[in-house]
Amino acid sequence: MNSTVGHDVTAAALDKGLVSPAHADVIVRAGQKLPAGVTDAQRRIVEEKLVAQAQRFDPDQLRRYARRATEAIEPDSTVVDAHEDHQLRTEEEAARAQTRLTFHDNGDGTVTGHFTVPAAAAAFLRKIIESMTSPRRMPKEGGPASQGSYDWDHRRGLAFAELLEHLPTDHLHDKTAATVVVTIHHDVLQGALRAAHLDTGQALSAGEVRRLACTAGILPAVLGTGSVALDLGHETRLFSQAQRVAKGLEHDTCAADGCERPYAWCELHHRRPWSLGGKTDLRNAVPLCHYHHQRIHDPGFWHRYLPEGALRFSRRP
C-alpha cells in the first residue's frame, strides 16, 4: 500500500479504524492523480470527501468514485469528465503494457496457465464463460442438482477448454464473442472525452468505447439528455459479413502504413465516423488490426491518410 505520509485526514481515519488499508490506498492514489495546479487546500477537500465516501463504499466502489474526485473542487462537469477519461486512458495503456500469458506443462496431461489482460477483455471472457456454465445449460449428469453442488472452478475450466477448441485457426472472428451492452452518452459518440460503461460494470475511456462501438456484437445503449435512451441495440451502422468479404478483395493487410497484419484479422472502421454522418458502405470502410483500431480512437495519437490510402500514426506532443 502507498504511504499515507502527507495525507493526514486519511492517516487519522485509518488509525481510528474508519477506513481499511485498501480504502486508504485508493485515496492516496487518487491524490497522486489529481491535475497539476491543484492547491494543497483543494487536495484536502478532495481527501476529506473520499474519506467520507470510504465509510460507505467498498474499495472497488470507492475506486470508481475516486476517478471523479475532482467534482469536489471543480464545478465544470466537462473538466471532470475529461480528467476521468484521461485516467481511464492511462490505465488502459498501462494494462496493455502489462498483458501477459504463460504456460506450464505439469507433466500429467494438464497445462497450467496464467494470464494478465486488460479488465475489459477479462469482462468479455467472464461473460462468455458464465453464459456457457449457466445452470440451465448444464447436463443433469444422473439427476437434478442444486447450484450449490456444482464445482464451479471445474465447470469454468471445461467451458474454457471448449471455447479454445472452437477458436478459428484461419482468422480472427470479426465480432466480439460476447454480447455486451455499452452505456454511452450521445455526446461521447460525437467526440466528447467522457467515460462509458459496459453492462459488466467495467468503465472504459471514450476512445476505447468508440472502438468497441465499431464492432458487431456490441449493443450500444445511447443516452441523451437526462439519460433518456435514444437508441438500444441498433446495428444497421455495423458492417455486414458481405461487406467484409467485399472489402477483403481490395485489401490483404491492415490499412496502417507498414502494418502486415492480415486482413482476416482486421476490424472495419468508419473513415468518416458514423456519429458525424459517415455511411456504412465500402467507400467509408477502413480495415484496421486491433492495435491500430485502438490507436485511431485514442486522442493521444494523430493519424493522417497518405496519398495511396494508407494510414500513418504519430503520438501527439
251 pLDDT higher than 50: yes
81 pLDDT higher than 80: yes
More confident residue, 4 or 204: 204
179 pLDDT higher than 60: no
Q: Which is it for the CA torsion 287, 291, 296, 297, positive or negative?
A: positive
Q: How far apart are the first and last CA of the chain?
A: 33
Q: Which of 55-59, 93-97, 191-195, 293-297 has the lowest mean pLDDT?
A: 191-195
Dump pLDDT digits (tens) for 7-34.
899 999 999 999 999 999 999 999 999 9
| Domain annotation for the chain: domains and CATH numbers | 8-75 (no CATH), 100-137+151-165 (no CATH), 239-317 (1.10.30)
What share of residues in the chain are helix, strand, coil (percent, to 5)? 45, 15, 40
- Residues 9 and 52 sit within 8 Å (Cβ to Cβ): no
With 0-12 / 13-18 / 19 or more C-beta atoms within 10 angstroms meaning exposed / middle / buried, residue 225 is exposed
- Residues 156 and 137 sit within 8 Å (Cβ to Cβ): no
Dump pLDDT digits (tens) for 106-115.
999 999 999 9
Q: With CA atoms as reference, report the closest residue to 203 among 87, 29, 70.
A: 87
Q: Where are the alpha helices (DSSP H) in the chain?
A: 8-15, 21-32, 40-54, 59-66, 77-98, 119-132, 152-165, 186-189, 206-212, 241-248, 290-296
